[in-house]
Every structure is written in C-alpha cells, then in structure tokens.
Amino acid sequence: MVLQRLEGLAALGFGVFAYAGLGQSWLVFAVLFLAPDLFMLGYLRSARVGATTYNLAHTYVAPALLALLGFLVGPVAFGLAAIWVAHIGLDRMLGYGLKLNGGFEQTHLGPIGKARRK
C-alpha cells in the first residue's frame, strides 16, 4: 500500500511539474483540478454506472490519449492531460483507487471511508 501511495505522489509531482513546464495558467489548473470527480455523478444512477464512469475518468489511459492528441491540436491538450494526471496521482496518494461495483467505498486499493473502519 505504501508503494502505491508513493506511486500516486510521483504521478502528482509529474503532472504538476509537466504543467509548470508548459507555462499555462495556474488559474486553469486550480479550476480544472477536481473536474474528473464530476464523473462520480454516475453514482446517482447506480453503483455499477458510477463505478464505470468514475473509472473512465480515473485511469491513466484517458489523459495519455489526450496527451497524444496534443501532437495534433497543440499544447492545451498537454496541459489538460497534465492536470488530469496530477488529479489521479493525488487520488491514488490518498488511497482512492478505481472503484469496484460494490459501491464507492470499495476500491482496487482496498476499502475507504466507512467501509475501511468496519
């Protein structure tokens, strides 16, 4: 578990460092940093839909594809990908993993919240 959290810290650091190197607006970084958490709204439908939508926004595949798109559309895509990676890294560092269909508190890193205290 400690190595997974350190891996999250590394991803957070990489995302912030990459964003800083791009010279883009830190206001945009602050505004968009928590945007991937909007995908939790899928839980309003069901635990399965919520887990699916949350996981789509919290896997490194999506920002990697966005970064690749940056070669076609320009540096804004790189900046968005860096913000996204930083967000995922923070989540992993705090112990929030990809969600299982059993509910928000069941993750691939183990239970969180009330489920962890049981």
Reply yes or no on whether the pLDDT at 18 is more than 90: yes
Residue 95 DSSP code:
T
Reply yes or no on whether the pLDDT at 56 is more than 70: yes
d(CA 102, CA 51): 9
Task: Give the other-Cβ count within 10 Å of 36's Cβ.
Answer: 19
Reply yes or no on whether the pLDDT at 66 is more than 60: yes
Mean pLDDT of the chain: 91
- With 0.85 as the threshold, say if the pTM is over it: yes
Reply yes or no on whether the pLDDT at 118 is more than 80: no
**Sheet of 110-111: strands edge to edge?**
99-100, 103-107, 110-111
Q: So where are the chain's domains?
A: 2-117
pLDDT of residue 117: 53
Grade residue 53 by pLDDT with cuts at 50, 70 and 90. very high
